[in-house]
Every structure is written in C-alpha cells, then in structure tokens.
Chains A and B, each alone.
Chain A
Amino acid sequence: MTSIHIKNGFVVDPGQGIHGDKKDIFIENGKIVKSLTHAEKTIDASGMVVMAGGVDIHSHVAGAKVNVGRNFRPEDKMQSTYEPYHGIRHMAGGTSVPTVFKTAYAYADMGYTTVIEAAMPPLYARHTHEEMRDTPILDEAALPMFGNNWFILDYLKRGEIENAAAYAAWLLRATKGYGIKCVNPGGTEAWAWGLNCLSIDDPVPYFDITPKQIVSGLMEVNESLHLPHSLHLHSNNLGNPGNYTTTLDTLKLSEGIKPNNNFNREQVLHHTHIQFHSYGGTTWADFESKGKEVMDYINNNPTVTCDIGFVTLDETTTMTGDGPFEYHLNKLNHLKWANTDVELECGSGIVPYVYSKDVYVCGVQWSIGLEMALLAKDHMRCHLTTDHPNAGPFWRYPRVMKWLMSEKARNDVLASMKNEDKVRDRSTLGSIDRELTLYEIAQMTRAGPAKALGLSSSIGSLTPGMQADVAVYPYNPETESDPEKIEWAFSHAKYLIKSGEIILNDGELVSNGNKKTYWVDVTTKPNRQVERDIDRTFVKYYTVTKNNYEVTEHEFMKNPCAVKIDAVQ
C-alpha cells in the first residue's frame, strides 16, 4: 500500500479542531500517521482544502425499492449523460436513481467514502447486499427496518424489552445490518390494510400498540444492545401540513433515555430528514415552516441528532418505507406509483416527483431545510443529506453547501422563484444572514455523522490512527469569493484517498478501491422464548424458511467488517 504525503493544504478537521490551517497529512498502511520518513507519493495540495472522506448517514442507494426506481423510470437515464465504459470505469447512468457504478463514481467525485443505506427490508437484505457488493469504492452499511415488524410489535406491546432486544440482535445478524431503523412506526403495518398512523397515539390495527410505544421501546432496545448507532427514526405523519407537532411529540420520547455504548455516541435518537417533518399550517393553502420550533428543540437536547433532507429543486424519484405516504403523494401528483408490502416486516412506495421552484410549496420546503441548518447551534448534531433521492439526488450536496455558505446564493434562488414573496413569508430563511464555514460543513458531512454512527474512532477525521479517507478539493478559502466555485469544487475532488488507496488522482479515477461493508454482530443472553418464536413464526407465516433467510457474509458481502458487541450483561 502506498505511503502518501499530502502537503500544504488548508486542513479542515473538526475531529482535531483544525479550522483550515496549512498542514501536511501523512498516510501509511491505510491509516493516517503523524509523520513519514519517506513518501512514495506526494500530493501538492497548495491552495486546496483537505478534509476527511465524506460520510453520508442517510441515503437510499441499494436494495429492492432503489432498483424498482431504476427499472420503472427509463426516463431517469435521459436527464443526464449516460457515461460510457472506458478504462477501469464501468458504464454509468441514471440521474435521481443512478446505477451502482454511477453511485460510487458520483460520491467519489464529491470526496465521499462512506455511505449508509438507510432502509433495508429484512426479507430483501440479500438484494441490498448484492447491490452494495457491486458498488465499488464506497464503504457501506445498511439499516434493517424494525418499526412495523410483527415480532417487535408483539414484544413491545407486552413490554418485553429483553425479548425485543434478543430478536433485534438475531435480525441484525441474519440480515448483516448495522442498526435499528424505524420508518413510520406502526403506520406501514396499518397500510397493509390501507390505513395509517398519523400521530404517536394512533393505535396500530390488530396489534393494539401505538407509535409512541414502538419508538420508546426501540430506543430502549437500542441502548440495551449497546449499539454503535442510535435508533434511526423516520417518524409518523411525514410530509403533511402541521406535522411538526407530531415531530415534537416524537422527539420528546427521547427524554430520560441515556446513551449506553462504547462508541463515543452521545445521542439516543437520530431523527432523519427532519425537513419533511417540520411543517406548519393545516392545508397546502396555509402551509408554512415550523423549522425554527423543531430546531429549537434539537438545539436544547443533546441526546438527539438529525439529518436535514434538503430539497434541491430537481425532478427526482421519491422512495420510502413509508408506504402510505407514497400513496398519498401519488394522489397529489398523479404520476406513477409503485408499492411493495413486505410480509411481517415493512413496506415501501415509490413515486416520481418534481420539486419546481415555481411551485410555492416546493419553494417553502427548500427554505425549511436551509433555515433549519442555519438555525442549528451544533453542526456535529445536524447532518447534510437530501434523503437521496427523496428531496433531491445526493450529487447535489455541493449545491446545498453553496446555499449554506452563501447568503447571496440563497437570495439568487429566492429571487428567481415565481412566488418569491409567498415563500419568503412562509419561512424565516430570508431574514437569516448566517453563512456556514467550511468547518461547520465538515462537521455536517464528516465528523458529525461519523460520531452519530459510532464510527468516530476510525472515520470522519484526519487524526493519526484513523482510516486514511482523505479528500482534496480545488478550493482556496483565502482567495475565493464566488459561491459558484464552492459548488464546482466540492463536485470535483482533485484527489480522493480511501483506506490509503488513491481513487481519484488529479481528478481521474484510477482505482475502484477496496470497499468494505460494516455490520453489527451483537451477542445477547440465550433466549429460548425468542428462539421458539422465530422458529414457529417462520414455519407458520413466512414464505421462506428460516434457513433460507440469513445473509451469509462470504457469499453476499465484499470485505465484511463485523462490529462485535457483547451485550450479555
């Protein structure tokens, strides 16, 4: 493995509190080191920004619903150029739902090295892992969905946290999953009968449990298993006017629960794509932002983290485990609708969507995401995502950075909107002059998500001893003033090093890397009751046998990296 000296760059590294000082970074044997006696490769980063490889905490890049999105939208390939095969680059296409190759290349171009697939239906875990296996370069992990799982609903209804935890440990091992994801708790199970749960107190049909019990129970389960990541929650009532009260009710469930882990994680709840959950008003006519109210709560509660789900004002393909939401979205836009309900576990829906800046609701949604990020007091707990591809494709992150770092860039967009006055009236964005720094951007895109994922001891920083994931951007913070340059530079990393291997050299792809896949292997006390429940349920209600359910590491994963945890005590 090459030893590398990256010299004279503006290093931005919240992990070490470095705010753009000119520093040298040294790499040896795949790790960051303090110094080198001799470097086989020297990169002159003069006039350029050096950061750790980007970490995306929430993106939909692999699995059954992503592939439905690809296959049912041939038109998505027409929105951007389909890249031809050449050298080591595979053919790569797609715009809002790129192929696995384009996904890897586009993230690499942005200097990202780790991506979390945020919703893995357990029954489709193999599919998710097959796609991740075929995705080069990126380190990945997937979060299996628990919030509508019959075992979990049954155990939590009866208050059996220990049984729920034993089952969760088994499911993480069976699916090679990384953490506990919960999408529209109870609501997707209700959707199997065409219904939904819109508040945390709506009972789940038949199961006689509420979303409140599910979310609280899963947080307890998560901490009892000492997992590296917290509960990763997409709460009820997504996307509806007035839903911020549901969001606040849900966030408050975290109060009193303490983090219990050895991974330097401080939150007990990660609320994802919070933008979609911070809406005021009663209908689309009086729709308005309640981003300030929700961010105020998060600012004051250090055991909560969030990612934003920035709207990028693009045509995209929405996809979520929130099946009933996608049905309702289809009723709004009358485009095509795909849905898959998954036996005993979860569901999903997919609908194309156009976020037009000339539609005032879309403009307000765009404002809310930016408003919340600019009102955040701790960017270690507020992460940059577009909930790819829901609020927009991930390759728009550099554009979002531009909006966050430049008031002028934001005002230019507002001024170009047909309903500028109405959009300005419905959120506080226009009155915010804050411009985020590169340091805060690095917190949002590297240090923060790595910490929330429990991976801060190996990624998200350039501290000696860390995995050598390094991105070098052609951006000089001392001389640049044009906000467009921010977007361009963060879309075109000059160099990318992943685990010590050079992926991009002077902007050219030179390696498909040696990606790895994280999963969590947690040991719990033997639990005969849960073992019997699993055996019995597979025989009676599943359509695959238990022995055909498990994802095997050696068959389905490239460089599996098991995070081992002893939760017996």
Chain B
Amino acid sequence: MSKRLTDIICPFCGTLCDDIEIDVSDDGKQILEVYNACAIGSEKFLHVQSPDRITRPRMKQEDGSWNEITYDEAAKYTAKVLCDAKKPLMYGWSSTSCEAQSIGHMIGEQVGGVLDNTATVCHGSTLIAMQDVGIPSCTLGEVKNRADRIIFWGCNPAHAHPRHMSRYSIYSRGYFTGKGSKSRKIIVVDPRPTDSASLADEYIQVEQGRDYELLDAFRAALKGSPLPKMIAGVPSEKIYELVEILKQGRFVVIFFGMGVTHSLGKNHNIDMAIALTSDLNNYTKASIIAMRGHYNVTGSGQVLGWQFGFPFCVDLSRGFARYNPGETSSNDLLMRGEVDGCLVIGSDPGSHFPIGSVKKINAIPTVCVDPHMTPTAAISKCHVPVALVGIEVGGSCYRMDNVPIDSRKVVDPPEGMLTDAEFLDLVLKEVNKIKGDAK
C-alpha cells in the first residue's frame, strides 16, 4: 500500500511548483513516485533515499580522511569558528527555509558575521538595479491571466526553470488568455539559439555582451528615435518591428536571467531593462520579473530585508548592519583575505565561486552545512549533513515573484539527523555560552 501526498512544493528552483504529488510508502519513510515535477525536481525528491547518503557530521583529519562526530560537537566547533573569527562569512541560505535563515541571522548578529546569499553571484545585480531605478513587476498569476507579450531575455527556462512555461508564461491558460500560447507572442533574446528560443515567435540573436546596447536601442525605438542600421547584431528594422509588437500588446512581461545579470554591464543592463519596462507603461501595461534560481534565494533577501534592511551582502561585523556590494560581498571579502572563518549553508560556492575564493575557503576554518557531499563540503574542515528542506522538513520559502509558500514535509529524514534550523539552534546556544550573554 502507498499513500498519495498532494500540494507538495518542489524545493529545486525559484518557480516553486506547488502542485507536486508524491506516493510514499505506507510507513511514510520512502518516496515511491513523483508526479507533476520536472526531471530535475523529481530527481531532487528521489535523491533523499540515495543509499550513499551521509547522515552524521564529520571533521576532516590531517590526512584528509573524515572522522564522524556528534551534532553537539559539530555545533561547538561551528560556534568556536564563528566566535574566534574577526570577520566570519556566513554564506548561502538559498536552499534552506526562512526559519533557518532567521536563526542564522541571530547568530550573525552575535558573532559580527557577514550574511550573504547566492544573489551575490546571481541576481545581486538585479537587486542593485532595483535600488537604482525601482521595479515595476507583478505576480506570476498576472502573467498567466493577462500577458499577451512575453520576452525571455538572457534566460533559458526550458532548461533552468522547466515548468515555468507551462505553469505561468507560455502555455498556461488564464482568465484573459484562454487560448494559452495562441494568446501570446513570445520573444526570446539570447546570444545562443537555446531550446527556449526554439519555442519563440521571435528569436533575436544579440551579440554576446551587448545587451545594454540592444535594450537602449529598444528604448530609443519606443520613442521613435532614429537608429543605426545594425545594433548588437540586430537590424534596426527588426527592433522597430518588435517595439510595435510590444506597444500593441495589452500586457507585456520581460523575464530576464543571468545572461544579462552577469554579462558585461551587470546591474546597468538591468537598469536599462527596467527603464524599458517603465517606458512601455506609457503605451500599455508592462512588468518585469527576475528568473530567480535557487528555490529560496528570494526568501533570504526578504528575511535579511525585514531584519536588517538590505537584501544581501549584509556586514554585521561592526555591530550594526552595513551594505556595500563590492566591499561586503563574499567574493570581494574572500579575495581580499578578510575572512577568517566561514559557515556555508544551503549553497555550493565550491562549485560556483572563482578558484581564488575557493582556495581561501579551503585555507580557513570552514563549516559546510549541506545534505550532500559537494565540492564545498570537500574543502571544508567540518561537514554537517542535515535533513533536506522542503522534503524532510517544511518551512517558509519565497517564489521568484516574492510570493511566500509554506513548503511541506514529505518523508522523515534518516534517523537521528537534524534539520538546518535545529542545528543552527544548537550553534546559537553555543555562541550564547561563549559570548556570555545567553538569552
């Protein structure tokens, strides 16, 4: 016998599909089948029962081998690393719950840590652009129900957010978009002819790194200004034609991804994309939405925002919150050698940071809290495996459009394993002991 669990939230990407159905064994311990999820999401659920799963904290020995320790010992070690450090980096937070983030922030407040999330190498430039020019946006349901003009700029949802197109953007049938994809014109702007581009009504092959120029040309064309014959590899006639398509739409949405956030221009590209969206509101209704990656990176920015006032790169080392990306951002701190202790949770900088930063993480005492054996875990002094958030423990998370959803527990974690929040709670208690002002 098995039982079917419904309304499960997929903890893979920022799309946060919440219609997943899962068959679990009668004793509730094993996942038998996953329905509705994409291939990546299904694999994430099924991975919890991987037979080679690490279930206990481990310290790295001098010879590179691992020695199993208890969670209490791991918490003591983590607290000592954070308290001993002058500027501990507490990085990640994107694949964990808002509840765990909140406990981590209270640790950061006491140890004077730098709290940074994966936006620092992803949509951090988007957050900076919002601070420059704001952001006219909407929830994904507005896209589903109203949008008849959709642009994917520098993103490839077919691979990165596989159900985005069917749930929200291209194929979904909404109130005013009853014919689904036939109600919409899809435009993809990307240097590469991606699988998403193959689904578009219009594919614009922008020259690599020239997004700013093309966005600028769109704004100029919208105002009827003359353009040179070719801009960023696109003929001006095409730009004028596209602008007309947008102006004639009732509801325009621009989705953009890391193709524009971390190519040349960075936050200035997004400034221009947002300005284009604002300009379009002179003619029709237009919104812009960032294709956030990690499933709860958005939540990390939210919790940091309401607790400290900034969405990432929050430096608490002076006893109050400071924010200056480029100065207080993880890679800048690591590259300058300012970090002397590190906690990584809910992310894998070992895979995604520049090698110079990875070497620094390897050189300082680093604790990696992660259910999996990752490159970050491999270069850490202490690896603390935990229950998988969104599968083995519930918790609050935020979708790419900032909509909050409460993720649901599906199965129990392996016996004796702690959750992120439980482990961080132990660390907080140890920090309180060391700091001598237990509350």
Contacts and interface: CB of A to CB of B under 8 A. Distances in A.
B432 to A, nearest CB: 12
A82 interface: yes
A543 B406 contact: no
B145 A72 contact: no
Contacts of B353: none
Contact of A343 (B145, B319, B405): B145
Interface size class of B (residues with CB under 8 A): 35 or more
Interface stretch (B52-60, B167-175, B254-262): B167-175
B174 A340 contact: no
Contact of A130 (B19, B308, B322, B396): B396
Interface stretch (B71-79, B126-134, B361-369, B410-418): B126-134
Interface stretch (B25-33, B80-88, B277-285): B277-285
Nearest to A133: B102
A440 interface: no
Contact of B132 (A70, A76, A191, A336): A336
A-B pairs, 8 with minimum CB distance:
A343-B141, A336-B134, A126-B404, A341-B138, A84-B319, A547-B7, A339-B136, A194-B285
Given A71-B310, A337-B278, A341-B139, A541 B320 contact: no
B139 A342 contact: yes
Interface of A: 62, 64, 66-67, 70-74, 76-77, 82-88, 90-91, 93-94, 97-101, 123-124, 126-127, 130-131, 134, 150, 191-194, 206, 327, 330, 336-344, 347, 350-351, 540-545, 547-548, 552, 555-556
B406 A544 contact: no
Interface of A is mostly: mixed
Given A72-B135, A77-B309, A127 B321 contact: no
8 contacts: A70-B306, A74-B131, A82-B320, A88-B439, A126-B396, A130-B404, A338-B135, A343-B140
A164 B168 CA distance: 28
Given A85-B319, A338-B130, A91 B109 contact: yes
Contact of B144 (A88, A327, A343): A343
A131 B406 CA distance: 15
B7 A548 contact: yes
Contact of A338 (B134, B145, B303, B310): B134
Interface string B14-49: 000011000000000000000000000000000000
Contacts of A548: 7, 9, 18, 405-406
A134 B139 contact: no
Given A72-B131, A339-B136, 18 more contacts: A70-B305, A71-B301, A74-B309, A74-B310, A77-B309, A82-B320, A91-B321, A126-B406, A134-B307, A192-B142, A340-B137, A340-B138, A343-B142, A347-B138, A540-B175, A543-B168, A545-B18, A547-B6
B146 A192 contact: yes
A338 B6 CA distance: 35
Nearest to A351: B134
Contacts of A552: 406
A461 B98 CA distance: 38
B165 to A, nearest CB: 13
Contact of A85 (B109, B145, B284, B322): B109
Nearest to A343: B141
B287 interface: yes
Contact of A339 (B137, B303, B404): B137
B143 to A, nearest CB: 9
Contacts of B133: 336-337
Given A337-B278, A343-B142, A544-B18, A91 B308 contact: yes
Contact of A543 (B144, B146, B309): B144
Residue among A99, A127, A544, A555 with the highest chain B CB neighbour number at 10 A? A544
A94 B309 contact: yes
A545 B17 CA distance: 10
Contact of B130 (A72, A99, A134, A330): A72
B264 interface: no
